[in-house]
Structure 1
Amino acid sequence: MTEQQYSLDDIRKNVSRIDNEIIKLLAERRQLSLEVAKSKIQTAKPVRDQGREQELLLRLIDTGKSKQLDAQYITQIFHTIIEDSVLFQQAYLQKLTNPESLQPVARVSFLGAKGSYSNLASRNYFSRKQTKLVEISCSTFRDVLSVVETGNADYGVLPIENTSSGSINEVYDLLQHTSLSIVGEITQPIEHCLLTAVDTTVAQIDTLYSHPQPHQQCSEYLHSMGNISQEYCSSTAEAMKMVAELKKPNVAAIGNASSGELYGLAPLKTDIANQQENFTRFIVVARKPVEVTSLIPAKTTLIMSTAQKAGSLVECLLVLRTLNINMTKLESRPVIGNPWEEMFYVDVEVNLKSDVMQEALDELTRLTRFIKVLGCYPSENVVPVDPYDGSY
């Protein structure tokens, strides 16, 4: 008996059939996760059960081994599925908690034209909410805030920090003066490429266009290119438009490859960031704050100014430690117009409405010269569970 041979067309048809089945099952699984969220409302259980997630992963790894699938492959796939399930449940619960926010279409402002990193972050964030967008391009961070403040947009999306270049100081400074509230966050992978409009080589490039942040995030690679001119634009999208219009072999833009396609650009060199894993955290702002259900993890962001004496900041931080509140970010920025005075930005992993956070605010109000809550919002940083970690 000879083994039956399949044609390439037959193999591809079978692959497509299996892919379609996978999509169908993923949709079915997501719908079941919604039913899980509904049941947790009745029992007041939190969305995440990390012990349950670990048991699930270990069982799936064992099942995968019997099918000649290695543990890393199984873990990567199901980390993605679990993250989607958690965020899908969180979005559902938040809609129930904030019924006034239910709207099929949202007007969203962001830096740059379509294809900018802020635009990509906007689309990814609101796709999770199953909300259609009216996209409003802005040329400055100040404009992003202004159009929301004046009611011409419902939300604004702003980059706040990057794993390579650090905090985006201009945004922090603007947050000191805005009346808007932070209502959400999203962490976006940043994949920088050299993008060109014509066939060329890296050796021919002598001028690079981009926003200042990508220049900074790719500084090591740019240094290796030698003596090149770094031209700053208002956004990566603006840089791509510039290179597309110039159509010269000696110019390139730094930006995202898929966004470059919108402007007819092709990647000449990929993965040029200083860090292989390059992420930017974006915040979402609106005119009204949101309430975060106690069933999901929350973050609270506040700003405060301490007395100008030794130990003032330490006293404030001790309040958080004493109350066992985890601080994930501490950023200091000068107070414009008050030399040598600083404003401290603090992110903590706790719900604003919780008793422990209210106790912390009472203590911090007593210890500080000025304090203001910028927002409480769902934490969308779903840290993957290690299936072999015995702490769960």
Structure 2
Amino acid sequence: MATLDEIRQSINEIDTQLLALFAKRRAISLEVARNKLSSQRPIRDQHREQELLAYLTQVGRPMGLSAHFIQRVFQLIIEDSVLIQQDFIQQQQNPEIKETGTSVAYLGPLGSYSSLAARKFLGRQLSDIREVGCSSFNQVFQEVESGACSYGVLPIENLTSGSINEVYDLMQQTSLSIVAELTYPIDHCLLTAVDTDIADIDVIYGHPQPITQSSHYLDNHPHIRKVFCDSSSAAMLKVKELALPNAAAIGSAEGGEIYGLIKLTNGLANQPENCTRFWVVARDPVRVSPLVPAKTTFIMSTTQKTGSLVEALLILRNHNINMTKLESRPIPGNPWEEMFYVDVAANLESDEMKSAINELKASIRYIKILGCYPSEDVHPVNSPTAE
């Protein structure tokens, strides 16, 4: 009988082979992107994706693999394929964007959720990245506006705690453009510097957002004192410096590893499926290929006439433009007046969107385009045979 170490070595060898096959598949996916670019075919082909899942399920079942397992694995692989194809086509559409020597600003030190999101975005397409942690959202804007950084990564909304209003308010005042979006899964963990018991924790350090998002867990431990920090990274660093058995931080497992912390438990967030949506901003806008699903974000101020907002939204509907988000924020210096942030699933260069924008300009007081960017909402398809 093989020893446990020998069995694990066999698993390592198989996993290494899988990695090589994943890399080979990625390279072929780029060939697909080149073909689609030359033939001007859209990136997503959901019929093809459904056929692939059905085929793989049929092949995998006799091997003892469940349809659910096959579908989960290959939905992730398909998502990765779609995103790298989008990246390739966007690079061809925007050749002026540098592929090396890129710098990015984000809230907090290394290990914050914003820094992890920045690595997810830029790590997929760029090398030689200079990371700049900032103490405030305003500083992130300043780093990019001044030219000190190429990109800024900003959290805009969370499934549990909702919109991050400070970022919305700062977007009213900047000349920066949204050039990308991404979502980052959030798994709040309880992290300590020393091995201890959860029952011994009486103080938790964390950014206000993660603490709010973990309110149900904290309500079940009313004796725990909450201490707010400027970022999740600052909370983890504080706990590392204290090195006390009664002190813990709320942060990510990845961030905890960076600071050498121990994960006592995870899943602290009120919602099991928790994620944060981020905007990536830059000084210059990007052009989105018509082959790539796009979003456009703009702000508008309607008149004070009754029904003016409804009339503005009807313009979008009449042009078959799907609105994905509507957010209102007060206008500084104008009491009782609001600015509306609107996300639509449309390319700014499409005929429908151009017509809609022209009609809106004629019917409302103010409109400002914040950016048109590739959509990262890669909704997975399901194979009927895999149900």
Q: TM-score, length-normalised on structure 1?
A: 0.96
Q: CA contact under 8 A between 2:107 and 2:134: conserved in structure 1?
A: yes
CA distance in 1, matches of 2:139, 2:7: 53
The equivalent residue for 2:296 is 300
Is 1:379 paired with 2:375?
A: yes
CA apart distance, 1:389: 9.3
Question: Cα 1:62–1:241, aligned 2, differ >3 Å: closer, same or farther?
Answer: same
2:41 to 31, 42, 45: 45
The equivalent residue for 1:359 is 355
Is 1:14 paired with 2:10?
A: yes
The equivalent residue for 1:167 is 163
CA apart distance, 1:263: 1.9
Secondary structure, aligned partner of 1:339: strand
1:325 to 321, 325, 337: 321
Unaligned runs of 5+ in 1: none
CA distance in 2, matches of 1:367, 1:226: 53
The equivalent residue for 2:179 is 183
Post-superposition Cα deviations, 1:294-319, rounded to whole Å, max 9, x if no partner, equal: 11100000000111121011001111
CA distance in 1, matches of 2:12, 2:238: 40
**Paired letter, 1:56:** L
2:136 to 137, 140, 147: 140
**Paired letter, 2:11:** V
The equivalent residue for 1:26 is 22
State percent identity of aligned pairs.
56
CA distance in 2, matches of 1:162, 1:12: 39
**Paired letter, 1:184:** A
**Paired letter, 2:264:** L
2:246 to 250, 254, 258: 250
1:149 to 140, 145, 149: 145
Question: Cα 1:6–1:240, aligned 2, differ >3 Å: closer, same or farther?
Answer: closer
The equivalent residue for 2:345 is 349
Is 1:266 paired with 2:262?
A: yes
Post-superposition Cα deviations, 1:44-90, rounded to whole Å, max 9, x if no partner, equal: 10011001100110111111112111001000110011011101111
Is 1:106 paired with 2:110?
A: no
CA distance in 2, matches of 1:225, 1:14: 44
CA distance in 2, matches of 1:194, 1:21: 35
Is 1:288 paired with 2:318?
A: no
CA distance in 1, matches of 2:156, 2:272: 20
The equivalent residue for 1:240 is 236
**Paired letter, 1:217:** Q
Secondary structure, aligned partner of 1:102: coil
Q: CA contact under 8 A between 1:212 and 1:233: conserved in structure 2?
A: yes
CA distance in 2, matches of 1:130, 1:263: 25
Question: Cα 1:24–1:215, aligned 2, differ >3 Å: closer, same or farther?
Answer: same
Q: CA contact under 8 A between 1:126 and 1:132: conserved in structure 2?
A: no
Is 1:198 paired with 2:194?
A: yes
Post-superposition Cα deviations, 1:175-215, rounded to whole Å, max 9, x if no partner, equal: 00011000001100011011111233223222211111001
CA distance in 2, matches of 1:158, 1:319: 30
Post-superposition Cα deviations, 1:138-187, rounded to whole Å, max 9, x if no partner, equal: 00001001110011111000000001111011111110001100000110
Secondary structure, aligned partner of 2:99: coil
Secondary structure, aligned partner of 1:260: helix
CA apart distance, 1:249: 2.3
Secondary structure, aligned partner of 1:60: helix
Secondary structure, aligned partner of 1:45: coil
CA distance in 1, matches of 2:9, 2:115: 36
Is 1:59 paired with 2:52?
A: no
Higher mean C-alpha deviation, range 98-107 or range 256-265: 256-265
CA distance in 2, matches of 1:76, 1:260: 27
CA apart distance, 1:11: 3.3
